A = this chain, B = another copy of it.
Amino acid sequence: MSTRRTGAVTMHEVAALAGVSIKTVSNVVNGYQYIRPATREKVEAAIAELGYQVNVSARNLRRGRTDLIGLAVPELSLPYFAELADSVIRAAEARGVTVLIEQTGSSRERELEVLSGQRRHLTDGLIFSPLALGQQDHDALQVDFPMVLLGERIFGGPADHVTMNNVEAARSATAHLLGLGRRRIAVIGAHEGEMMGSAALREKGYRQALEEAGVPFDPALLAEAGLWHRATGAEAMHRLLDAGVEIDAVFGLNDALALGALHALHARRIDVPGKIAVIGFDDIEETAYSSPTMSTVAPGREQIAQTAVDLLLARIADPDPDRPYQRVVADFTIVGRESTLGEGAPAQAAPLRTAS
C-alpha cells in the first residue's frame, strides 16, 4: 500500500533507518550541497527502501508557498484557450511550477470569484484572461496577490500585462483584404458600446485601415456577436446575408467566429474567396485545416505564454507593489491562406507570413 494512504512514511522514519537526524534527510531531499557522500548514500538508500516521498502539504505550509500558479480562462473547449493553456503549462513546467486551470465560462460572476476565491490561497499567483470584466470592475482588480493580465481589456490595476497590439493587428488584417481589392468588408463579433475590449480595439484597427485606403465605413457591415464562438459567428454571417448587405470580404474578430462564418458561407454555396474572402484572428491550428484553409492573425501565443509566466514568477519572487508594473506587447504576423488568397495559396506546410 501507499506511503500516503496507509501511515505515510515520514522523514522521521527515513532518518531512523538511515541513522541520521531528520534535518539531514531534509537536506538530502532538498539537494543541499554540503553533505558527506557517505551520508547522502545512506539516506538515499533509506528513502528508496521505504519509498519515501515528501509531504507537499507540510512543505507548502512551512514554506508559505505552493509553486502552483493559476490560469483563468473562459473555456478550454474554445481552441484558442486550449492552445494557450497548453503553452502556459509547458512554459511553467520549464520553470518548475505547476498550473491550475480555472474556467470562468466567460461569466462576470465567475471572473469576480476567480479574483477573490479560496483557490487564490492554493496558488502563488494568477494569470488571468478576463472577458466579461471591464473598466467598471476596477476595484475588484485591486488584488493583493501577484497577477498577470492577458489581453487589453483592463487597464490600470496593480498587475503586469501581456497584450498584443490589437489595433495594429486588425489594421493589418483589414489592409490584407483591401490589398486584394476587397472594398465591402464585413466585421463579425463587434460589441456595440464597448470601449476597451478586444472587439472595440479590433474594430478600431479595421476603421483605421479603411480610412487609410479611402474606403468609406458602412455600419451595416458590422455584425454583433456577444460570445465569440463558431455558432455565433455562423449566425451573424447568416444575418448579414439575409439582410442583403453587399459583401466581398469578412473579418472575423477571432477564428471561431470566422470559422462559423465560413461554415455559413459553405452552407449557402457561396464561393470563398471567389465571392467573399475571409480572415480570422488567433491562428488556431484548425485554420490550417479548414476548407478552404483560413487566413488569420497569429498573435505569438508561445511568446505570450512564456512572458506571462516569467512576469508572474518575477512578481511572486518580489511582490513589492512599488516595483513598476510592466506591460509587454507581443508580436503578431498575418498568415495568408486560401480563404483570402485563393487556391494557389500556400498550404499549412509553409504559411505565407507577412511580418507587420
Contact = CB atoms under 8 A, between A and B. Distances in A.
Q: For the side of the interface on A, what is the size category?
A: 35 or more
A243 B119 CA distance: 55
A217 interface: no
A145 B61 contact: no
Nearest to A124: B4
A121 B53 contact: yes
Interface stretch (A20-28, A30-38, A42-50, A81-89): A81-89
Contact of A144 (B5, B90, B263): B5
A70 to B, nearest CB: 10
Given A77-B82, A101-B89, A259 B121 contact: no
Contacts of A291: 262-263, 266, 290-291
A285 B144 contact: no
A76 B85 contact: yes
A303 interface: no
A118 interface: yes
Copies in the complex: 2
Interface string A80-108: 00110110011000000011110100000
B4 A145 contact: yes
A350 interface: no
Interface in A2-24: 2-5
Interface in A285-306: 285-286, 288-293
A55 B292 CA distance: 53
B56 A122 contact: yes
A98 B103 CA distance: 11
A58 B55 CA distance: 12
B76 A66 contact: no
A319 interface: yes
A355 interface: no
A286 B255 CA distance: 12
6 contacts: A1-B321, A53-B121, A57-B61, A79-B79, A230-B285, A262-B291
Interface of A: 1-5, 53-58, 60-61, 64, 66, 68, 75-77, 79, 82-83, 85-86, 89-90, 98-101, 103, 118-122, 143-145, 230-231, 234, 259-260, 262-263, 266-267, 285-286, 288-293, 319, 321, 347-348
